[in-house]
Structure 1
Amino acid sequence: MEEIKQSRIIKPPSRKIWLKERLSRFRPVVFLKKNLPIFLFLLLLLISFLVGLWNIKNFEILEESGGEIDENVSRMVEEYLKKNVKGKNFFLIHSNKLGEDLVENIPFIKFASVSKNVPNSILIVLDVLTPEFVAYTGDNRCTLLSIEGNVLENLCEDEEDIKKCCENYHSEKNIAVFKSKDLSIAKLSSGKERLLVMETLSKVIKVIRSFDIKVKEITLSENVVDFKDQEDRITRFTLSDEIEVQLARYFIVMGKIKSEKVRHTLVDVRFKRPVVKTN
């Protein structure tokens, strides 16, 4: 019986299959397959950059205490942000630096906290200085001041009679006025301006206010300071002596005046025995 031997003929793989196998073993292709999710993420991120998804578009401005921000301050902040921040890449904005820039460039801002919200918005929380006084000083300037003496705004710059303009502002806005021919506004190293004496006078103002007295006018001449209240009563201090000592005298005297319901026109605490003038 004749045995028929059958042999299998192994066909070589087609060129298409061979190429596919070679590509599947090609290192760059293997690496790409292995890290495909990462590459897709980077591709989408690149596209988002190209279409401007990460460019700053929106701002939210809040007041630290939860109150409403003055329209003038809000306008200045928005103008600064539109000019210097809007349209810039989210990742190029440094929160701390932006907060410092706002404080440096906008006098009304005492402190600014900045946080970024993905993908293109910024939240700004402000501690805003409140205008307390309009000041006419020896350098023939009219300025709006905080209680610490920070210059918030220059007023009446285009007026011929700056003093009169300053007085009108005081009357129309019902804001307290500071007058002194002896002092000028100081320029600080930070570039901001301040009436330095207000650092001392603010201590006095706070104590006077503790007795429910509202100061409407402060006059300083030759180191003597008069604080006039809404009833035209005068409280007199001197800058030549310790303010803390004078404040202690004032506190004792006003305590007696309040308890005894004395109607007075003047309290002068420059001396060891304060002078009180009554009606």
Structure 2
Amino acid sequence: MSSDLHHPAPDHNSWLTLPEQPPYPVVLVGGGPGAPDLITVRGQRALAWADVIIADHLGPTDHLAELCDITNKEIIDAAKLPYGKQMAQQRINELLVEAAQNGRKVVRLKGGDPYVFGRGFEERAALIEAGIGVIVVPGVTSAISVPAAAGVSVTRRGINHSFTVLSGHLAPGHTMSLTDWDALARLSGTLVIIMGVKNGPAIADRLIELGKNPATPVAIIEEGTTSSQRSVTCTLATLGATIEQAAIHPPAVIVVGDVVEGTDN
């Protein structure tokens, strides 16, 4: 791995006083969990600066006009629909490089945080390999903010001292899965599963098979932080049936653990 990937961060504080001129031509922006006003101040400044925005579906793309003047901006839809239309990651990398090489001011707008299952590191690596500077603007990750919006605290005094965030994109047993399900089943802390609607039933079955208490409380929060937010509670044993009966669809966050008990969601 190139040591260039580990160079010191630019002086981000100087950008706060000069928001019209980020230090590099590309900015990877975390758009937050869904609500447009949960993007960071720095992220919104980057949108105002950009003349081309390459946006994921999970970023606040429907509200760009509320966040910046889009009159003279090129908006490129990278899709990234859960289990739907998606632009190939390699093509996204190429678009970022091409736009920067053509002298454009580029924002890559992603949902949540770019570095939490967002492939932001891959995009940064592609840019650096092409000799293009890039700055990362962290975003509010849905793994914590969506449960909070539904009244679920992922940590609670006297209940847990840890929480673990995992992707449910690949089912247990998938040949490409890097998840240690045995270790997860033994954890006493909270499990937060993102991208887990499709594989939620299989995940619950696997955790129970490996010793997790079937009565463990579960909260499922759909479209968190938006006007379409809804949440349901169940147990690990009934997770699969609840997803089906409540017609839960992505994006949704699943919280597994005793922190769900007694919350008003």
TM-score normalised to structure 1 length: 0.24
TM-score normalised to structure 2 length: 0.25
Q: Which has the higher strand share?
A: 1
Task: Answer 1 or 2: higher relative contact order, Cα 8 Å, separation at least 6.
Answer: 2
Bigger radius of gyration: 1
